[in-house]
Structure 1
Amino acid sequence: MKELYLLRHAKAKRASGGMQDCHRPLSRRGQRQMAAMAGPLQRLGALDGEIHVSTTTRTRQTLLALDEQLPASSLAGRARYPHELHTFDWKSLRTWITALPPGCDRIILIGHNPALLGLARWLFKQAPTELPTGGLLGLSLPVDSWQELGKHQAERVSRLTPTETSHALFRKQAPRPPDLDQASMDKRVLGLLTHQFRMVRALEPGVTAGFDPEFLHQYRVNLRRSRAIGESVRAIGRVPGLKRVLKHLKQRARATSDLRDLDVFLETLDQQPPSVSEQTLTAVHDWLEHQRRERHAALSHAMAQPAYAHDMARWQRLLSDKVLRRALKAVTPEQVESVLAERILQHDTDLAALADDSPDTSLHELRKAVKRIRYLAELDPRRYRAFLAGLKRRQTLLGEFQDLCTQQAWIRACIEVLSDAGPSGSARKECLGWLDSLEARKAELHRAVMALDPLTETASSP
């Protein structure tokens, strides 16, 4: 089996002042692309084998940018620069590859389009039709020697681009939110729902790539915001088909919950490690990473199934349905205000009912209610600007409480696994102490939530 990785050079500056094409350097964007791709390339094993680089300035600087991010890998010292790789002809690349010695099982080529893409499509019929700057194609080839390469012989092809590894890069190319400041309520609701649908679809590649947790976070936010707005529309009037769509949005958002909790917990461990030994922390961290990988694989598999595509298609059809548009025309700011007032009143009732011994679930339900209130108020952000600003501390307190609860659940599950593996008693004792410290912080937050003012005292009036 041979592994072939094709990496297109990062974004380069345009030639100017008589500069030859081969001397074009990387742009700042190109440098950022490689900073985002370095870790994922290493995790994929794409840099483990031989490294062959075109002789142009932009391909050399692509490798140097990776080398800067991964100094321990000595990429620049291992690289070779065959002049044959400075080509835009895929057949020339094929000729060069088939002359490689059979003992080399894994290589990465840093070169140019259309040669890289043409070679990939010759090796695998269903290969992608595009390869942006900084993008990678990985092919698995069931051959013992490079001389045996044949048309459409690759068993699989994988694709990874900088905008799938970095949400910061993705954000620069993400769908732009519509300008709805002067829009009527019905056009505002439809505009927001349509934008959120587009964002969900645009975020999917980053979610399945799994290298930047922010993709999953924003994916969840857009699913849940759409559901919250849709539920508000249902509270005002009946829309055929909306209930079913909302049910599936809820299921899709719920399928991401464990993975998102793990992402947050792992980030917390990196930024604020607990007072436990390095050995215990490593054991917990490794177990959490294993759980994260399993759940990410399950989510990616689910998103690749026909049922997922069917759910997305149903959602898209609803957004373009005249029935929805007619129903939205009946939505007025006054109706939104009425539904919002009902939700605020229910929130305040639940807040007043909180006691020192109230279960954690009471605060979880309060957190969900605050989110639904916020999403509804965001339908008219100018009207509720001060009110929305006042929700921030409330959401922060309830969000931190929720995070602590999920962290406790994962630690308890980890203790069971560690116990089965027969760890020393000190590791279990440390984890139990860790749980106690989280419980103490939860108690502080519980009291802080109980001390919050009712939302009716902070809600702004038109």
Structure 2
Amino acid sequence: MRHLYVMRHAKAKQPSGDMTDHQRPLRKWGKRQAGAMARVLQGWHALEGEIYVSTAARTRETFDAVVAQLPKRTLADQVHFEEALYIFDGDALLEWLKALPDKAERVLIIGHNPALSDLARWLNKEAPYSLPTGSVLHFTMPDTSWSAMERGCAELVGSLVPEEASYPLFKRFAPTPPEYQEDMARRIGDMLEYQCRMVRALEPGVIAGFDVEFLHQYRVNLRRSRAVGESLLSVAKVSGLKKMLKRLKHLGQATSDLRDLDVFLKYQSTSPPPLSARAHQGLKQWLQGCQQAQYQALCQQLSTPEYTEQLQSWQTFIASDEFKEALSTITPKRINKVLDKRIFHQNEDLAALSLDSPDTALHKLRKHVKRIRYLADLNPNTPMTFLSTLKHRQSLLGEYQDLCTRQTWLEAFIESLDSDAEQKRECSSWYASLEVSKQTLHKEVLGLAPLAS
């Protein structure tokens, strides 16, 4: 099977003065685009074969920006700068491609539109009509000679733009956050609609899987929507909302293990555990295997009609007149009344804690702190000092939960080791040291002062 990758150069400057089109360099944004696609090209194995680059400044600089992100790898023996690729006609590009030597089984072309998009459509009619700057398409073809290619002979197996590969690039085109509204009902409605738009906008980046921040933000916006909805239920009667929140909870739960695995793997990288190299590597590979399985399950969920229907139903629900009418009944007084009750129960739970309290007691405390915080966020007049106190408390309890999660995954890994007694011993010793860290945090939680609104 042959593999063909076509990449359009990244965003370039417009010609000025005596500058020719051939001399146009990349913009700063273009260099960021090209750099972001280095992981994509590497992940798709596009850099393992022959690389053909137009001699134009903007295509050469696109290649250079990719290489700059791969300091441990040299591509000097694979790259060919071709004057013939400085073309804009699809038929001419096709003739060039058909003349490639048959020994070239994997080929990357960095060139120009509309030649690339015309070629892509000739290879497969499902290919996009236009390629944005910095984007890449991946085709597979039968293992016949390049000269024997026929229209529609290729399968499009990958299509990605830089803004789906890099969250920092995505942010430039992300939905615009709503402006601050004094009217509480309008403020809450705008917040929920924005979070829903963000969830939908983040989906391509989540599925692409090259920047985990897409998944993090996707999860955050889902969970915030659910938290705001639960806060609304505590202060007003909103018909149908409880059913909708169950759906959001289900969608959010599909990301929980992925989030925990990502946090654990990052912790391993930044704070190497007290394990031998062999045990460390074994645990890392096992966690990555679990992560991949969870990721594939999530991507399958995002591609189902049921998922699309659920989010569309939520979007329709929060835009409905009935929902907006329910929002209009919410007042700061009603929020503060419920808030006072939650703070009272939170302080009771905190006072009942002891060093012998189980992990579940602290997890319950964390959930209640989150509910207090999201409820307090509904009122724009909530003091910032109070919100800061909640944020600190939530962070402390979150750190405790992360330690518990590490223990859970570590315990599962130990069970998977079968007869490897040495690795079991090492991991069990680390498990015990995590328990010591938990006790330190437990004491810090016991020292927290009662909340005061």
Residue 175 of structure 2 corresponds to residue 175 of structure 1: yes
User: Does the aligned pair in 1 maintain the 2:258–2:291 contact within 8 Å?
Assistant: yes
Shift of 1:155: 2.6
Residue 131 of structure 2 corresponds to residue 131 of structure 1: yes
Residue correspondence of structure 1 range 188-207 to structure 2 within 5 A = 188-207=187-206
Q: Name the SS of the counterpart of 1:72 in structure 2.
A: coil
Residue correspondence of structure 1 range 336-415 to structure 2 within 5 A = 336-415=335-414
User: Does the aligned pair in 2 maintain the 1:354–1:450 contact within 8 Å?
Assistant: yes
Question: Equivalent residue for 1:323?
Answer: 322
User: Which letter does structure 1 place at the counterpart of 2:432?
Assistant: D
User: Which letter does structure 2 place at the counterpart of 1:218?
Assistant: Q
Question: Equivalent residue for 2:99?
Answer: 99
In the alignment, the residues of structure 2 paired with residue 121 and residue 454 of structure 1 have an alpha-carbon distance, to the nearest angstrom, of 65
User: Does the aligned pair in 2 maintain the 1:142–1:155 contact within 8 Å?
Assistant: no
Shift of 1:153: 2.6
Q: Deviations over 1:105-124 (max 9, x none)?
A: 11111111222222222222
User: Which letter does structure 2 place at the counterpart of 1:431?
Assistant: C
* Further displaced range: 15-24 or 218-227: 15-24
Shift of 1:129: 4.2
In the alignment, the residues of structure 1 paired with residue 318 and residue 145 of structure 2 have an alpha-carbon distance, to the nearest angstrom, of 53
Question: Equivalent residue for 1:427?
Answer: 423
User: Does the aligned pair in 2 maintain the 1:64–1:76 contact within 8 Å?
Assistant: no
Question: Over aligned residues, Cα RMSD in angstroms?
Answer: 1.6
Q: Deviations over 1:58-82 (max 9, x none)?
A: 1101111111221333124420122
Question: Equivalent residue for 2:229?
Answer: 230
Q: Name the SS of the counterpart of 1:455 in structure 2.
A: coil
Q: Structure 1 residues 143 and 409 mapped into 2: Cα distance closer, same or farther (>3 Å)?
A: same
Question: Equivalent residue for 2:439?
Answer: 443
User: Does the aligned pair in 2 maintain the 1:165–1:210 contact within 8 Å?
Assistant: yes
Residue correspondence of structure 1 range 13-412 to structure 2 within 5 A = 13-180=13-180, 182-412=181-411
In the alignment, the residues of structure 2 paired with residue 433 and residue 317 of structure 1 have an alpha-carbon distance, to the nearest angstrom, of 52
Shift of 1:231: 1.4
Q: Structure 1 residues 391 and 130 mapped into 2: Cα distance closer, same or farther (>3 Å)?
A: farther
In the alignment, the residues of structure 1 paired with residue 403 and residue 433 of structure 2 have an alpha-carbon distance, to the nearest angstrom, of 10
User: Which letter does structure 2 place at the counterpart of 1:448?
Assistant: E
* Further displaced range: 350-359 or 126-135: 126-135
* TM-score normalized with structure 1 length: 0.94
User: Does the aligned pair in 2 maintain the 1:53–1:85 contact within 8 Å?
Assistant: yes
In the alignment, the residues of structure 1 paired with residue 220 and residue 195 of structure 2 have an alpha-carbon distance, to the nearest angstrom, of 9
In the alignment, the residues of structure 1 paired with residue 247 and residue 142 of structure 2 have an alpha-carbon distance, to the nearest angstrom, of 40
Q: Deviations over 1:166-216 (max 9, x none)?
A: 222222221121112x43010001010011001111111111111222111
User: Does the aligned pair in 2 maintain the 1:67–1:76 contact within 8 Å?
Assistant: no
In the alignment, the residues of structure 1 paired with residue 321 and residue 385 of structure 2 have an alpha-carbon distance, to the nearest angstrom, of 35
In the alignment, the residues of structure 2 paired with residue 34 and residue 369 of structure 1 have an alpha-carbon distance, to the nearest angstrom, of 45
User: Which letter does structure 2 place at the counterpart of 1:407?
Assistant: R
User: Which letter does structure 2 place at the counterpart of 1:164?
Assistant: E
Shift of 1:47: 1.0
In the alignment, the residues of structure 2 paired with residue 149 and residue 143 of structure 1 have an alpha-carbon distance, to the nearest angstrom, of 10
Q: Deviations over 1:26-71 (max 9, x none)?
A: 2222222233221232122111111011111011011111112213
In the alignment, the residues of structure 2 paired with residue 44 and residue 395 of structure 1 have an alpha-carbon distance, to the nearest angstrom, of 39
User: Which letter does structure 1 place at the counterpart of 2:370?
Assistant: K
User: Does the aligned pair in 1 maintain the 2:49–2:78 contact within 8 Å?
Assistant: no
Q: Name the SS of the counterpart of 1:12 in structure 2.
A: coil
In the alignment, the residues of structure 1 paired with residue 116 and residue 369 of structure 2 have an alpha-carbon distance, to the nearest angstrom, of 50
Shift of 1:266: 0.6
Q: Name the SS of the counterpart of 2:30 in structure 1.
A: helix
In the alignment, the residues of structure 1 paired with residue 334 and residue 76 of structure 2 have an alpha-carbon distance, to the nearest angstrom, of 64
User: Does the aligned pair in 2 maintain the 1:378–1:384 contact within 8 Å?
Assistant: no
Shift of 1:375: 1.9
Q: Deviations over 1:244-299 (max 9, x none)?
A: 22111100100100011011111111111112111111111111111111111111
Q: Deviations over 1:104-163 (max 9, x none)?
A: 211111111222222222222222344322111111223422223223332333112222
In the alignment, the residues of structure 1 paired with residue 131 and residue 337 of structure 2 have an alpha-carbon distance, to the nearest angstrom, of 50
Q: Name the SS of the counterpart of 2:218 in structure 1.
A: helix
User: Which letter does structure 1 place at the counterpart of 2:324?
Assistant: R
In the alignment, the residues of structure 1 paired with residue 380 and residue 277 of structure 2 have an alpha-carbon distance, to the nearest angstrom, of 47
Q: Structure 1 residues 129 and 377 mapped into 2: Cα distance closer, same or farther (>3 Å)?
A: farther
How many residue pairs match? The answer is 453
In the TM superposition, structure 1's runs of 4+ consecutive aligned residues that sit over 4 Å from their partners are none
In the alignment, the residues of structure 2 paired with residue 116 and residue 372 of structure 1 have an alpha-carbon distance, to the nearest angstrom, of 52
User: Does the aligned pair in 2 maintain the 1:63–1:75 contact within 8 Å?
Assistant: no
In the alignment, the residues of structure 2 paired with residue 366 and residue 90 of structure 1 have an alpha-carbon distance, to the nearest angstrom, of 63
* Further displaced range: 121-130 or 353-362: 121-130
Shift of 1:217: 1.2
Q: Structure 1 residues 283 and 357 mapped into 2: Cα distance closer, same or farther (>3 Å)?
A: same
* TM-score normalized with structure 2 length: 0.96
User: Which letter does structure 2 place at the counterpart of 1:17?
Assistant: G
Q: Deviations over 1:317-367 (max 9, x none)?
A: 112211111111111122222222222222222222222121112211221
User: Does the aligned pair in 2 maintain the 1:232–1:339 contact within 8 Å?
Assistant: no
Q: Deviations over 1:355-396 (max 9, x none)?
A: 212111221122122222222222234433221111222112
In the alignment, the residues of structure 2 paired with residue 286 and residue 234 of structure 1 have an alpha-carbon distance, to the nearest angstrom, of 43
Q: Structure 1 residues 244 and 394 mapped into 2: Cα distance closer, same or farther (>3 Å)?
A: same
